[in-house]
Structure 1
Amino acid sequence: MNQNNAGFMSSIPLVTRNILIINALMYFATVMLKNTINLNDYLSLHYVTSHLFMPHQIITYMFMHGSLGHIFFNMFAVYMFGRVLETVWGPKKFLVYYLITGIGAAVLQLIVTYFRVKGIEAVLSPDIVSQIKDGVTSIMAMPSDHEAMISLYGLINGPMLGASGAVFGILVAFGMLFPNAELMLLFPPIPIKAKWFVIGYGALELILGVVDSPMDNVAHFAHLGGLITGFFILLYWRKKGFFTNGNIFR
């Protein structure tokens, strides 16, 4: 690492810097080891009845990413907004907030998945459901209830990964602390106040989550979970007087 890069990295607050580094290391480890071990099986979040589910995944999933674009946009948001929050709050409070919003995102997505799974299980035989939970793929060749089996298999055995839930927690915090800060959208390139950006983005995620397009593999309710968790954390902190000199809700 040359002196300029070292200087740039050292200018990023401690927790934000380490979040960026850990996510980058985990992504490249996943890519480099893909022919030896599938780290997503162990570290990405699986539904609780999946044979691949492990409790630690509710934390480790937020450090895993599925593509270069996935990790780039998430880490760009962490860098742009996370460093501001860490500077205002300090490293300990920011780390706690980041992890709790990530966990809250996972919990809401798991709850939504539970109801979707139960709805599909109601139309399938217990034997088929049991095989799907065990990861058996051969039953997919059966002509009857083919779409239902594919949907259930994806819900139970498809992993959830990415820092997006925690990123939405960061976004809502930035929008509440600095509601009138102007952000520049990428598409279209127009300015927008932070509060309207957060509200609009949250509404879009709700719509996309409810629509639940079969072509959409984004965990929209995880995004909402991070946003909602962050919102209530900030309400609690405001009640405790943590923002007496801040711009929350102004």
Structure 2
Amino acid sequence: MRLGITDAVKHLIIINVIMFIGTMAIGDGQLFNKLFTLYFPKNDLFQPWQIITHMFMHGGPAHILFNMFALWMFGTPVEQRLGTKKFLFIYFSAGLGALAFQLGYYYVDFYSEMQVIADLNLSGEMLDKILNIDTRQGDYLVGEKLGQGLQPILNEYGYSTNINQEQFRALFNMNAITRSAMVGASGCIMGILAAFGMMNPDAKLMLIFLPIPIKAKYFIPGIILLDIISALTGQSFFSPSNTAYMAHVGGAVIGFLIMWYWKKNDMNKYRWN
């Protein structure tokens, strides 16, 4: 393994840095976010191109720094081994897999809350307006803001049915899901990390905050397990609490499946070794 950086990794880092500078420098940080962040499909800001562009967006200096460092560290040897085309195939496939896992996770919660409000018989147009009420207060979403925005909508549609506490809670949770947003290359990089681990199972890796060398074949499944626990419990271990944990899991799973297929397939054009 030579030191340095491969072509695809270099260009991916350049694109990510350009997008980050644009986010910081243009439109007070709002223009790029509104255009290129991936919003939940029920959000008025959702656009189809965000499916790709969100992979090049980041939430802050630490976010992009850690992701680009990981992309260089693991992406370079993977691209050297697989070649640029296969590397990019894994990278973007893992990004799409991350998206599918995270959105699927959101939709399970969203439709479970839909059952709670079924008796309200809200029209689709009315519900969309409720879901897009701005409930932000600083860095938090608050129920009082939902209540303030809800009453004018009820009045507009002449809606007189009482909304009980459980139904209000469900509407608030659905609003929170609708206002969720995804940014970052983490899902793509988890796919590359899985590929690296399959090619180098005995390579020793370690976390910055836990400098204990662990073989990749144990380290990577351990990271995925922690992400699953975090997604199910809300308990964050090494990431910010707003991390899209299931996106990490989805990216790693897709990266693993692609590598497993290439490794096991007997047709030479699909093999990676």
* TM-score between both structures, scaled by the size of structure 1: 0.85
Of residues 210, 223, 232, the one that matches 2:232 is 210
Q: Deviations over 1:109-151 (max 9, x none)?
A: 1111111111223334436632233445553436955544443
How many residue pairs get aligned? The number is 237
For residues 69 and 154 of structure 1, the distance between their equivalents in structure 2, rounded to whole angstroms, comes to: 25
Comparing 208-217 with 185-194, greater Cα deviation is found at 208-217
Do structure 1's residue 200 and structure 2's residue 225 form an aligned pair?
no
Q: Counterpart of 1:5?
A: none
Match of 1:139 among 139, 146, 149: 146
Give the partner amino acid of 1:139. L
Structure with higher Rg: it is 2
Q: Tell me which amino acid in the other structure corresponds to 1:152.
A: M
Aligned partner letter, 1:153: N
How many Å separate the matches in 1 of 2:131 and 2:272?
51
- What is the DSSP-based 3-state SS (H/G/I as helix, E as strand, rest coil) of the residue aligned with 1:120? helix
| 5+ residue gaps, structure 1 | 1-9
The corresponding residue for 1:219 is: 244
Tell me, in whole angstroms, the C-alpha distance in 2 between the residues paired with 1:59 and 1:71.
Answer: 17
**For the structure 1 residues 188 and 136, does the alpha-carbon distance in structure 2 shift closer, same or farther, using more than 3 Å as the test?**
closer
Aligned residue number for residue 18 of structure 1: 11
Shift of the alpha carbon at 1:91?
A: 0.9
Is the alpha carbon distance of 1:66 and 1:112 closer, same or farther for their aligned partners in structure 2, counting shifts above 3 Å? Answer: same
Q: Aligned pair 1:186/2:170, yes or no?
A: no
The reply to whether residue 115 of structure 1 matches residue 108 of structure 2 is yes
1:81 partner amino acid: F
Report SS of the residue matched to 1:66: coil
Normalising by structure 2, what TM-score? 0.79
Higher strand share: 2
Tell me how far 1:191 sits from its aligned partner: 1.0
2:196 is the counterpart of 1:174: yes
5 Å matches for 1:51-130? 51-124=44-117, 125=120, 126=122, 129-130=127-128
5+ residue gaps, structure 2: 136-144, 151-163
CA shift, 1:36, in A, is 7.3
- In structure 2, do the counterparts of structure 1 residues 102 and 244 end up closer, same or farther at CA, with 3 Å as the change threshold? closer
AA at the equivalent of 1:89 = L
Partners of 2:242 and 2:29 in 1: CA distance: 26
Two-structure CA RMSD over aligned residues (Å): 2.5
Compute the displacement of 1:194 (Å). 1.0
SS state at 2:241 partner: coil
Distance 1:244 1:122 in 2: 47
Sequence identity (%): 37
